[in-house]
Structure 1
Amino acid sequence: MSEQGQTPATPEPAGREPVFLLPGAVTALVGVLIAIHLASTLVLNPDGQGLVLFWFAFQPYRIVLAGVEPSLAIPLIWTPFSHAFLHAGWEHLLINVAWLAIFATPVTRRYGAGPMLALFLVSAAAGAGFFAATTLHDQIYLIGASGGVAGLTGAAMRFIFQPVLMARHPETGQPVVLGRRLASLAEVFVNPRSRYFTLIWLALNAAVPLVPVLTGSSLNIAWQAHLGGFAAGFLLVGLFERKAAGE
């Protein structure tokens, strides 16, 4: 991206457009994800990368092993969250970053950085919980931000497709934009756009386990994390709405 200079005769504008249109919190989270992956791929050797997965990827089988050696379950304290900051490759990372930028942005602008990050982390943990419920004895691990991103997607579905509410200023009579109201769970499915997006998104992820049956090949997609994360964000976003309304 190149910049265009101004001639001395052109006055400086009163303000500058931001370099990034994303909220600062979203840009920071994206930067953290990229920095961690850069460090993992460019700094660590294969042994170091293996240790990172051992200590920070979410491994449900630790729950089973805890009955034999309780200390093996200690990473379960943080790995339901830390797995969201690791990725299998650049394609995996960039897809999650793009999806994060799209849906974390409206959530951050509505609720702020803290609630957005809280929804991201809680949704990542909810996705890990559903992943554990379906893969407990499979001895596989979960990495990637998709559970947290799915939670932000679910949260955004509650308001981004709702109509903009307008009012008039009590003194000037000028129209005032009030924003979009948070839809109830039922109202999400009344609005055609939010209904179709939600149903198609859920159907595509729920269909992932059927791919091996239909095609004979499997997709390395943690659909459980997507569904668990989406449900968490979709259901919990109202908690932040009530807090914001009371401030």
Structure 2
Amino acid sequence: MERNEAATSEQADAEDAVGRTREPAFNLPPALTAILFFLVAIHALRTYALSAEVDQELILNFAFLPARYTIPFSEQGLAWLWTPVTYSFLHGSWEHLIFNIFWMVAFGAPVVRRIGVARLALFWCLSAAAAVGLHVLFHWGEMIVVVGASGVVSGFMGAAARFVFSPSGRISRQFAHLNRRLSFSETLANRSVLVFTAVWFLTNFLVAFGVFSIGGAGSIAWEAHIGGFLFGFFLFGLFDPRR
């Protein structure tokens, strides 16, 4: 009871601060800023510096391919080991990258502020792996190239849904990371979370049925989006330092 009262008081202070403080237009955690620059640098290098042959070799060794896991590991290199993570640093186009950056700024920032750099690194790797883990169940053995940070972005969205909306439904861009993490029952009873989650899943199902595409990256790995979101939503508590 004392912990709940303290959390409520802290949350109220944070929301009061929102009213008193003018939020800057651009205020990202340094770790997230570094990641965004890294993603841009990789795509710029691939687009403007590497030859088509070298870029194709890079994709072969660092993108995720479901078909890789139908080949005995003794008959191939070690790319099967790191590609469930490294694919998330590659993108199919500038539109694809910019789309992911936009949503990473919106939902990744509060998550990164809350969990810190070390937990961020682990969250990124595991959410990326969880995303393609679900994708490969639907595309086992297929020669499909999967690239992009969309699975991780979806993980950020699932994690953010657990705390960026206060019990009253309000959301603060700068101070949301101070909110108490909602329990699963509170989350399911929060109208803002339910609307956000319903719209998110509806959008991905429309993508799955070909109603429209997003991100300018051609075929959309919607299964990876769902895998990342479910990972962030259900397992964020393992990374959250604010008990």
Aligned to 2:150: 146
Map of 1:119 onto structure 2: 123
RMSD: 2.3
Q: Structure 1 residue 48 and structure 2 residue 76: aligned?
A: no
Residue 42 (structure 2) pairs with residue 36 (structure 1): yes
Q: TM-score scaled by structure 1?
A: 0.78
State the match for 2:69 in structure 1.
63
| Change in 2 beyond 3 A, CA 1:18/1:133 | same
Q: Does 1:92 align with 2:96?
A: yes
Shift, 1:19, TM fit = 9.5
Change (3 A) 1:18 1:179: closer
The Cα of 1:210 is off from its aligned counterpart by: 1.9
Structure with greater contact order relative to length (CA < 8 Å, sep ≥ 6): 2
Q: Which has the larger radius of gyration?
A: 1
State the SS of the aligned residue for 1:87.
coil
Paired amino acid for 1:79: T
Q: Decide which structure has greater strand share.
A: 1
- TM-superposed deviation, 1:185: 2.0
Q: Which residue of 1 aligns with 2:193?
A: 194
Q: Alignment length, in residue pairs?
A: 208
Unpaired stretches in structure 2, ≥5 consecutive residues: 1-22, 169-175, 212-217
Give the distance between the partners of 2:242 and 2:179, measured in 1 at CA. 14
- Higher helix proportion, which one? 2
Secondary structure of 2:178's counterpart equals strand
- Cα contact 1:61–1:136 (8 A) shared by 2: yes
* Cα distance change of structure 1 residues 19 and 185 upon mapping to structure 2, 3 Å threshold: closer
Residue 99 to residue 20, structure 1, CA distance change in 2 (3 Å): same
Instruction: Kindly provide the CA deviation profile for residues 21-56 of structure 1, in whole angstroms up to 9, marking residues without a partner as x.
Output: 111011001011001001111110100110011000
Does 2:221 align with 1:222? yes
The within-5 A match list for 1:173-192 is 179-192=178-191
Identity of aligned residues (%): 38
Cα shift at 1:122: 1.1
C-alpha contact (below 8 Å) 1:96/1:145 kept by paired residues: yes
Residues of 2 paired with 1:163 and 1:179: CA distance?
Answer: 13
Q: Classify 1:163/1:57 alpha carbon distance in 2 versus 1 (closer, same or farther; 3 Å).
A: same
Q: CA deviation at 1:60?
A: 0.8
Letter of the 1:225 partner, please give it: A
Deviation by residue 1:75-128 (Cα, 9 ceiling, x = unmatched): 111000000000011000000011111111101122212223322221111011
Which residue number in structure 2 is paired with residue 11 of structure 1?
A: none
Assess if the C-alpha contact under 8 Å between 2:164 and 2:177 holds in 1: no
User: What letter matches 2:68 in structure 1?
Assistant: R
- Residues 116, 152 of structure 1: 8 Å contact kept: no
Moved over 6 A (4+): none
| Deviation, structure 1 residue 196 | 0.5
Residue type of the partner of 2:63?
Answer: A
Change beyond 3 A, Cα 1:178–1:117: closer
1:18 offset after TM fit, Å?
8.4
Distance 1:54 1:179 in 2: 42
Query: 1:163: Cα distance to partner?
Result: 3.6
- 20 and 115 in structure 1: CA distance in 2 versus 1, 3 angstrom threshold: same
Q: What's the TM-score, normalizing by structure 2?
A: 0.79
Q: 1:190 to 1:240 in 2, by over 3 A?
A: same
Q: CA deviation at 1:162?
A: 1.6
